[in-house]
Structure 1
Amino acid sequence: MITIANGIILKDSTLTPLKENILIDDGKIIEISKDILEGEIIDASNSIVAPTLINSHTHIGDSIIKDEGYGLSFDEVVKPPNGIKHLALENAEDIDIINAMKESLNEMVQSGTSHFIDYREGGLKGVKLLKEASKDIPIKPIILARDNLFHENDPDLKKVKIAIRKLLKVADGIAPSGFGEISQEVANLITEECFKNNKISSIHVAETVKAQNNSISKHQHSEVELAIKNNFNQLVHFTNPINNDLNLINKNTNITICPRANSALSCGIPPLEKLLNKNLSLSIGTDNVMVNSPNMFRELEFTFKTMLNSSNNYINSKNILKLAMNNSLIKNKSFIKEGNFCEIFISTRLSKNPYLSIINRCETKHIINIINKDTIINK
């Protein structure tokens, strides 16, 4: 048994700050109370005890080309199949990709992240490489795969369906790049097969104004309209909604924003205040490792301060922190609640506001312990 004692805990999904102790046995939270004190004691005095973080959108393979492509256009950097990142992944040795991914995975763990959703390039081999990289690291990858067949100008739909089914046997879902790279028929096959197999279907939408305009020109619908029409589970970016896009989304829509990557690639800033007001399933991710570190503290601080700059209204810092702790697509991710598995990090309390202490102040060096059902990392 372990007791985390004397800390300010951010309890359950409300993240209510309370000074209580947490009793953990065999990876589960057995009791939360002021008086419990059993087993090994972890003293969390002057600390905040918080649920571990979720990085809801990454391209972890980009770890092999950090900061390459600076000054190039968006398409030159990340547009498949000839963006510099795709060419780099095709030409890299497997062991180099694995080792680079391991570095990023360890960086995420050390900064309190326990789960991440990755857009995995490279088909079956790409999935295998990420599983190899993450197998000995205490972090849970949710792997969304893709195949180069998806991006062909006139794809053989029978071959596409076979590729999707093979990928779904080893991955958690399918994630093509965007509607600028796939046909409507391929999009339909992806979402239909994911639905049949209870897997995630995800796609980039409205990342750039150019992509939105091209979609209108080619399909007479925005990328957001196409994604909702084709029943994708998760929409990533939503940076540049147009026309009726904001009215099409509702509480059942899963949207992941990536403000820091959008800025790094000169795409704009997502309309976060409007999205928060829609009461969506809204989450946040760090996106391409080639342009961003996968550190969620840096993402949260950037997002919070960008919102302060773009809004005339009060910004609830708790709602910003929740973006990194809640994603309805991730099953079994635990908040600090009796009966849940333990997925907790303990950080030095750096200000009186427990939410801003994490968002505005926390760095990796301030993490004291990371505790999950399988592992205790003492730092």
Structure 2
Amino acid sequence: MIVEGTVLRGREFEPVEGRVVVEDGEITAVEEASVDSDAIVCPAFVNAHTHLGDSIAKEAGEGLSLEALVAPPDGLKHRLLREADRDELVAAMARSLSYMEQSGTGAFVEFREGGVEGVHAISAALSGADLESVVLGRGTVEAMEVADGFGASGANDAEFGAVRRATRQAGKLFGIHAGEVDSSDINPALDLDPDFLVHMVHAEALHLERVADSRMPVVVCPRSNLVTGVGRPPVDALYERTTVALGTDNVFLNSPSMFREMEFTSKLYDRSATEVLRMATVNGAEIAGLDCGLIEPGRPAKLVVLDGDSDNLSGVHDPVRAVVRRAETADVERVVLPG
């Protein structure tokens, strides 16, 4: 396979005219050449934090607080998940996965409610999909054992020491929400020595220094935090200290569109388009232990090909800014995923 256009190459997303050569699902070469194509070729996105079970209740719970919406065990989403028919849940998640693929996502990290059965349900939803998944079970050690790791709620909600030890012994990923509602659970979360934190809206100076000292990666979800009214994550301060990635969080609050997440982040914070695109691709991949998110030889061929001559993108001067701040799902010409 050969994909031609303006290729956003390497970690700096250097725009080069040329082609990406793919063999057996792997990028074997990125060649500079004169080509007859208006396409913009960028890495497929990595959505570093999702809750896809919420697909059964999009736009539910208007006006409710964050605790009323998502706090275990009786927040609105947990009640709806318990009440949902399994086939309905699987079908709803499959629809969200289809949308994610259409909008350029090549991999994602899911905090999967429902214990062991919840992990099995998303496995069923993924049947036939080409997206790469990192599914973190929740609730029990058994859920972690059948998943790719454990996704914990805030450290104030439960005691996670035993499951953290079990996850470490299994050599799997452990992520935890921290600092979403207030700062009280950030130090306890850091004390668990997780692989990454999610949210960190209320990080204070001490927490930022601990993050820097431990090089603790953080996944931020700015649109979700805005909708729930908890505040804005300190993306600029975090980015200066550690690896930061983007996630879209709960599907019932926001569409799982990385285009929308990038645009919102780019226009709200003092980060360059290159930095935001890095947050939406390779940074999430590295946090999740995935080998994707960049266009360079030896990487899996996970690519988004945008129509650079669409009514929306025609005439752009800076293709990286165009991907981050302007492009949308309608501009996607095709998504290349090995699978």
Aligned-pair CA distance for 1:29? 1.7
**Any unmatched runs of 5+ in structure 2?**
none
> 1:302 matched to which residue of 2?
264
> 2:298 matched to which residue of 1?
339
Aligned-pair CA distance for 1:305? 1.1
Q: Secondary structure of 2:92's partner?
A: helix
1:180 to 152, 156, 159: 156
Matched, 1:274 2:237: yes
Give me the TM-score of the superposition, normalised by structure 1: 0.84
> 2:218 matched to which residue of 1?
255
Residue deviations 1:284-304 (CA, integer Å, cap 9, x gap)? 100000100001100111111
Q: How many residues in Structure 1 have an aligned counterpart in Structure 2?
A: 329
Q: Does structure 1 retain, via aligned residues, the 8 Å contact 2:43–2:302? A: yes
CA distance in 1, matches of 2:36, 2:329: 17
Matched, 1:207 2:180: yes
**Any unmatched runs of 5+ in structure 1?**
37-42, 148-162, 216-222, 375-379
2:273 to 313, 317, 334: 317
Aligned-pair CA distance for 1:35? 4.8
Q: Which amino acid aligns with 1:264?
A: V
CA distance in 2, matches of 1:319, 1:269: 18
Q: Does structure 2 retain, via aligned residues, the 8 Å contact 1:236–1:255? A: yes
Which of structures 1 and 2 has the bigger CA Rg?
1
CA distance in 2, matches of 1:44, 1:76: 54
Aligned-pair CA distance for 1:334? 4.9
CA distance in 1, matches of 2:237, 2:44: 26
Aligned-pair CA distance for 1:44? 7.1
Q: Secondary structure of 2:67's partner?
A: helix
> 2:165 matched to which residue of 1?
192
> 1:18 matched to which residue of 2?
16
CA distance in 1, matches of 2:144, 2:68: 30
CA distance in 2, matches of 1:231, 1:189: 13
Q: Percent identity?
A: 30
CA distance in 2, matches of 1:275, 1:107: 30
CA distance in 2, matches of 1:330, 1:65: 30
> 2:289 matched to which residue of 1?
330
> 1:138 matched to which residue of 2?
130
CA distance in 2, matches of 1:44, 1:322: 28
Q: RMSD of aligned C-alpha atoms? A: 1.6
CA distance in 1, matches of 2:322, 2:80: 38
Q: Secondary structure of 1:20's partner?
A: strand
CA distance in 2, matches of 1:199, 1:44: 45
- 1:1-379, aligned counterparts within 5 Å? 2-5=1-4, 7-35=5-33, 45-147=37-139, 163-164=140-141, 166-183=142-159, 187-209=160-182, 212=183, 215=184, 223-250=185-212, 252-278=215-241, 280-307=242-269, 315-326=271-282, 327=284, 328=286, 329-349=288-308, 350=313, 351-374=316-339
Residue deviations 1:190-236 (CA, integer Å, cap 9, x gap)? 22111111111111100013xx3xx3xxxxxxx22112211111100
Q: Secondary structure of 1:22's partner?
A: strand
Residue deviations 1:46-85 (CA, integer Å, cap 9, x gap)? 2211000000000000000111101011111111101010
CA distance in 2, matches of 1:227, 1:167: 20
CA distance in 1, matches of 2:65, 2:299: 45
